[in-house]
Amino acid sequence: MKRVYIVHGWGGYPKEGWLNWLKPKLEEHGFEVQMPAMPDSEYPKMHAWLGTLSETVGTPDENCYFVGHSLGCIAILRYLESLPEGQGVGGAVLVAGFTDMNITVEEDEDIQEVQSFFETELDFAALRKRCPNFIAIHSDNDPFVALRYADIFREKLGAEVVIEHEKLHFCEGEGVSELPSALEAVLRLAGE
C-alpha cells in the first residue's frame, strides 16, 4: 500500500489548515496517511524530529511519500539524508521549504530556534539517491521563505517547481485551508 507522511512546520501541529484538508483527500485515493505530531514544535530539535519520523515510518520503501510544510521540509530532507545506503522512498513534496538558516526575505529575522537542523550542509547527492522525485511548491509573496529556494530545489534536487500566486506562507491564518497543488503533486509522484 502507498503511504504518505505529512510533516507540519515550526510551531505547527498535524491538524492545521491544508495539511488536515490533504489527509482525507489522499485517503480517497487509497493512500494510508499519517500526520505525526512533531515534538516541541515551538523549539524544535532535529534529533527529536528525526526520531519521531523514523519511528512513524518504520522501514521506508518506494511506496513511501512525504509532504512537508516549512520546517517540515528540512526535517524530511534530514530524515532522507539519514537513511542507509540503498534505502529510499518514492518522492517528496516540499511546501515553502528551505535549505539553510538564511531563509527570510527579512534578513534580520532571528531563527536561532531551528539551528540544530543546519549544523551541517545538506548532502544533495545523497538525497537524490534516496529520493528520485521532488516537487517544490512556493508562494510568490511568502514573507518568510525567499523564492530563491525554488531555484535551489530545482538545481540541487532536480525538483519540479510549482509557484503559487499570493499564498503567503501557506498558513491557515493567512487564508490557506486547502492546497490542491499539494494533492496533485503527491498523485503525480505516485503515478496516480
Question: CA angle, corner 88, sides to 44 and 136, nearest 5?
Answer: 60
Q: What is the pLDDT of residue 103?
A: 63
Cα–Cα distance between 170 and 126 in angstroms, integer? 28
Q: What is the pLDDT of residue 115?
A: 84
pTM: 0.95
Q: Which three cell numbers stand for residue 69?
A: 510544510
- Picking from 109, 112, 103, the residue whose alpha carbon sits closest to that of residue 44 is 112
List the chain residues with pLDDT less than 50: 108
For 83, left (φ over 0), alpha (ψ -120 to 50), or beta? beta
Q: What is the pLDDT of residue 80?
A: 98
Handedness of CA 13, 17, 18, 24 (dihedral sign): positive
Are the C-beta atoms of 2 and 186 separated by less than 8 Å? no
Q: Which fold has domain 3-189?
A: Rossmann fold (3.40.50)
Phi and psi angles of residue 11, each rounded to the nearest 5 degrees, phi first: 75, 5
Q: Count CB atoms within 10 A of the CB of residue 14.
A: 16
